[in-house]
Chain A
Amino acid sequence: MMHKHKPEILVTGAGGALAQQVIQELKRDYHIVQVDFRRRVPRDEGMSSYRVEYNKRGFEDIFRKHKIEGVIHLGRMGLYESTHRNRYNHNVLGTQRLLDLAHKYGVSKVVVLSTFFVYGASPYNPALLTEEAPLKASELTMDLVDSVELENLANIYLWKYPELNITILRPSNIAGPGVLNSMSLLLSSKYAPVLMGFSPMMQFIHVDDMGHAIALAFRRNKPGVYNVTTDDWISYQEAAQLCGCKRLPIPSVPEWLPKKISERFDWKGWPPYLLNYYKYPVIIDGSLFNKTFHFKPKRTLDDIFSYYREKKEMGIL
Chain B
Amino acid sequence: MSVRSFLKEHFVSAEANAAIDRIPKPVGAFGYDPWGYNSDAAKLALQALKPFYEKYFRVEAFGLENVPKEGRVLVIANHSGQLPIDGMLIGYAMATNPHGPRSLRVMIERFFPTVPFIGNILNELGGVVGDPENCAKMLRADEAIIVFPEGVRGAGKTWDKRYKLQRFGLGFMHLAITENTPILPVGVVGCEETMPTPFHLKTLARMFGMPYFPVTTPVPLPAKVRLYFGEPMRFEGPITSEDDVALKVEQVKNVINGLIARGLQEREGWFK
Give A residues with C-beta under 8 Å from B.
Answer: 123-128, 195-201, 231-235, 238, 241, 252-253, 280-281, 283, 300-302
Given A198-B120, A199-B120, A233-B28, check contact A280 B113 (CB 8 Å): yes
> A195 CA to B129 CA in the complex, in Å?
20
CB distance from A206 to the nearest CB of B (A): 14
Is residue B33 contacting chain A, with contact meaning CB distance below 8 A?
Answer: yes
A238 engages B2 (CB within 8 Å): yes
- Cβ-defined contact, B137 with A301, below 8 A: no
CB distance from B8 to the nearest CB of A (A): 13
Indicate if B6 sits at the interface (CB-CB under 8 A): no
A127-B35, A127-B134, A238-B2 known; A301+B29 contact, CB < 8 A: yes
B116 & A126 in contact (Cβ 8 Å cutoff): no
Question: Does the CB pair B120–A127 fall under 8 Å?
Answer: no
B146: min CB distance to chain A, Å: 18
CB–CB A241/B137 < 8 A: no
Q: Which of B32, B116, B133 contacts A235 (CB 8 A)?
A: B32
Nearest Cβ on chain B to A124's Cβ, whole angstroms:
6
Give B108-137 interface residues, CB cut-off 8 Å to A: 110, 113-120, 123, 128-129, 131, 133-134, 137
Known A124-B131, A201-B35, A283-B34; further 16 A-B contacts with Cβ < 8 A: A126-B131, A127-B35, A196-B116, A197-B118, A197-B120, A198-B119, A199-B120, A201-B123, A231-B28, A232-B29, A233-B34, A234-B32, A235-B32, A283-B35, A301-B29, A302-B29
Interface residue ranges, B against A (CB under 8 Å): 2, 28-30, 32-36, 38, 110, 113-120, 123, 128-129, 131, 133-134, 137
Tell me whether A126 and B28 are in contact in the complex, defined as CB-CB below 8 angstroms, given that A197-B116, A235-B36 are known contacts: no
- Write 5 A-B pairs (CB below 8 A) sorted by A numbering: A123-B114, A126-B134, A128-B34, A234-B32, A301-B28
On whether A252 and B116 interact (CB within 8 A), knowing A126-B131, A232-B29, A234-B30, the answer reads: yes
When the two chains form the complex, which single residue of B30, B38, B123, B137 contacts A126, counting CB atoms closer than 8 Å?
B137
Q: For residue B179, give the distance in angstroms from its CB to the closest CB of chain A.
A: 14
Task: Give the distance to chain A from B207, nearest Cβ to Cβ, in Å.
Answer: 19
A232 touches B30 (CB 8 A): yes
Distance of A127 Cα from B107 Cα, bound (Å)? 13
CB-based contact B129/A201 at 8 Å: no
| B residues near A124, Cβ cutoff 8 Å | 110, 113, 129, 131
Q: Which residues of A contact B110 (CB under 8 A)?
A: 123-124
**Contact status of A126 and B29, CB under 8 A, knowing A197-B117, A233-B34:** no
- Provide the bound-state CA to CA distance between A288 and B35, in Å: 19
With A and B bound together, what is the CA distance between A231 and B123 in angstroms? 18
Contacts of A281 in B (CB 8 A): 36
Residues of A within 8 A of B119 (CB): 123, 197-198
A-B residue pairs, 3 tightest by C-beta: A197-B116, A123-B113, A232-B28
* A234–B131 touching, CB < 8 Å: no
Q: Is the CB of A233 within 8 A of B2?
A: no
Kindly provide the distance from the CB of B131 to the nearest chain A CB, expressed in whole angstroms: 5
Which of A127, A195, A199 touches B137 (beta carbons < 8 Å)? A127
Q: Dominant SS at the A interface? A: loop
Report A312 CB to chain B, min CB distance, Å.
18
User: B123 — which chain A residues lie within 8 A by C-beta?
Assistant: 201
CB of A253 within 8 A of CB of B116, answer yes
The CA of A234 and the CA of B123, in the complex, are separated in Å by 12
CA distance A233 to B39 in the complex (A): 13
Complex Cα spacing A126 to B117, Å: 19
Q: How far is the CA of A234 from the CA of B29 in the complex (A)?
A: 9
Select which of A127, A241, A253, A300 is within 8 A of B29 by beta carbon: A300
Given A124-B131, A126-B133, the answer on whether A233 and B120 have CB atoms closer than 8 Å is no
Residues of A within 8 A of B32 (CB): 201, 232-235
Residues of B within 8 A of A231 (CB): 28
Provide the residues of chain B in CB contact with A198, threshold 8 Å.
116, 119-120
Nearest B residue to A247 via CB reads B2
Q: A252's closest neighbor in chain B, by CB?
A: B116
Chain B positions within 8 Å of A300 at CB level:
29
Closest CB of chain B to A159's CB: distance in Å? 25
Q: Name which residue of chain A comes closest to B140, CB basis.
A: A128
Which residues of the partner chain B approach A283 to less than 8 Å between Cβ atoms?
34-35
Query: Complex: how many Å from CA A231 to CA B33?
Result: 9
Residues of A within 8 Å of B30, CB to CB, are 232-234, 238, 301
Nearest neighbor of B4 in chain A, beta-carbon distance: A238
Question: Known interface pairs A231-B28, A238-B2, A283-B34. Does A128 touch B137 (Cβ–Cβ under 8 Å)?
Answer: yes
Select from chain A the residue with minimum beta-carbon distance to B30.
A234
Residues on A with beta carbons closer than 8 Å to the beta carbon of B118: 197
Of all chain A residues, which has the CB nearest B132?
A126
A233 adjacent to B114 (CB under 8 Å):
no
Q: Is the CB of B36 within 8 A of A201?
A: yes
Who on chain B is nearest to A238 by CB? B30
Alpha-carbon distance between A283 and B33 when the two chains are bound, in angstroms: 10
Please indicate the chain B residues that have their CB under 8 angstroms from the CB of A232 in the complex: 28-30, 32
Give the residues in chain B near A233, CB-CB below 8 Å: 28, 30, 32-34, 36
- The answer to whether residues A201 and B34 also contact, given A127-B137, A128-B137, A300-B29 and a CB cut-off of 8 A, is yes
Least CB distance from A249 to B in Å reads 11
Query: Which chain A residues lie closer than 8 Å to B29 at the CB level?
Result: 232, 300-302
